[in-house]
Amino acid sequence: MTRRMTGAAWCIGVVAACLTAAAPAAAQQSWVERAVHNFGEPINTLWAEGELSFAADGTMVYCSAREDLGAAPGDPKDLYIATFDGETGRWNTPVNMGQPVNSAPATDADPLRLGDDREPWITADGNTIYFKSDRLATSEPRNASDLFVTRKVNGVWTTPELLPYPISTDAGNEHCPAILNDGETLCFASRREGGYGGSDIWCSRQDADGVWQDPVNQGPNINTAAEEFHFSQDASGRVYFTSARPGGQGGMDIWSAMQTGPNSWAPAVNLGPQVNTAAADMCPALPPDGTTFTWFSYREDNSLGGIDIFWTHKSNLATGP
């Protein structure tokens, strides 16, 4: 696989018209439809790239450890925005979101404040981003990360605001925020008390006054004694998430479950060996075309170096399209 994205790969990140209306049957698929593809340059680099999400127009926000475009010296991870050029069939050069969205290391204030900003979730309208940051991390009580939100106002991203308790806590190390299809339910991972062990996925909604309600644990079909995090829901109501539970391909795997009601899910299913490997495969995201699927992986095959972002057609998932 070359580093230049060609053929079907150019469809990632653009609207539905950029893809065929329906994927062909598996027996008729070419290697392009059946393959797992590296996003290629300029998204993936020799540094680690990770969690990503898409606005409805195909704009992508993701995180990277790249040092050449960092917002501040020593930043472990920053948030980036990338747009797609339909004429050239390539991603434009990613833009570091800069400060104050990305925080600079502040270890003089607390050794846990490394300037680590990652796991962005952009809303469909492209005007709001939720993400995890260590900018307010404390050693005592030990709290490594919280959830923040920034909004685009007159074309400028605002200074991120803490999502207060009961979303962010002193003990939960909250991370991986995501909004469900209803546009109102915020889901995230937390180690707070009352879970099944490790990071569990919890969900909350705001009341009429905009106050976040007590988060609800998503139950034993989603959460286990292992690590669970990073919801991403498609139009059918099926959610995709990361889990280290037994029964996978090895390491972290991506699983899916169909929503059966508010805070209720059918038993989770592993996405299978097309996506999951013996390495860590994590943090699914769904481009707006509705037929493709993205995630990041430590897999060594087809890698540009470090951790890369990959995509495949949803027809290759074990759950079907």
Where along the chain do its domains lie?
A: 48-138, 163-321
For residue 255, the model assigns a pLDDT of 98
| Structure confidence at residue 22 as a pLDDT band (50, 70, 90) | very low
d(CA 292, CA 313): 4
pLDDT, tens digit (0-9, with 9 covering 90-100), for 38-58: 999 999 999 999 999 999 999
d(CA 133, CA 119): 9
For residue 30, the model assigns a pLDDT of 73
Q: Is the pLDDT of residue 127 over 90?
A: yes
Q: Cβ(96)–Cβ(117) under 8 Å?
A: no
Architecture in CATH of 163-321 = 6 Propeller (2.120)
- At residue 63, what are phi and psi to the nearest 5 degrees? -120, 155
Residues whose CB is less than 8 angstroms from the CB of residue 246 and which lie 6 or more positions away in sequence, other chains included: 226
pLDDT, tens digit (0-9, with 9 covering 90-100), for 55-93: 999 999 999 999 999 999 999 999 999 998 888 888 999
d(CA 158, CA 173): 23
- The arithmetic mean of pLDDT across residues 285-302, rounded, is 91
Q: Is the pLDDT of residue 29 over 80?
A: no
Per DSSP, what are the bridge partners of residue 310?
38, 295
> Which range (16-25, 90-99, 118-127, 180-189) has the least confidence?
16-25
| Structure confidence at residue 5 as a pLDDT band (50, 70, 90) | very low
For residue 299, the model assigns a pLDDT of 86
Q: Cβ(310)–Cβ(301) under 8 Å?
A: no
pLDDT, tens digit (0-9, with 9 covering 90-100), for 204-251: 999 999 999 999 999 999 999 999 999 999 999 999 999 999 998 988
Q: Is the pLDDT of residue 303 over 60?
A: yes
Mean pLDDT of the chain: 89
pTM for the model stands at: 0.90
Residues whose CB is less than 8 angstroms from the CB of residue 113 and which lie 6 or more positions away in sequence, other chains included: 103, 105, 106, 107, 134, 135, 136, 137
For residue 8, the model assigns a pLDDT of 33
Higher pLDDT residue, 29 or 224? 224
| Structure confidence at residue 320 as a pLDDT band (50, 70, 90) | low
Q: Is the pLDDT of residue 146 over 70?
A: yes
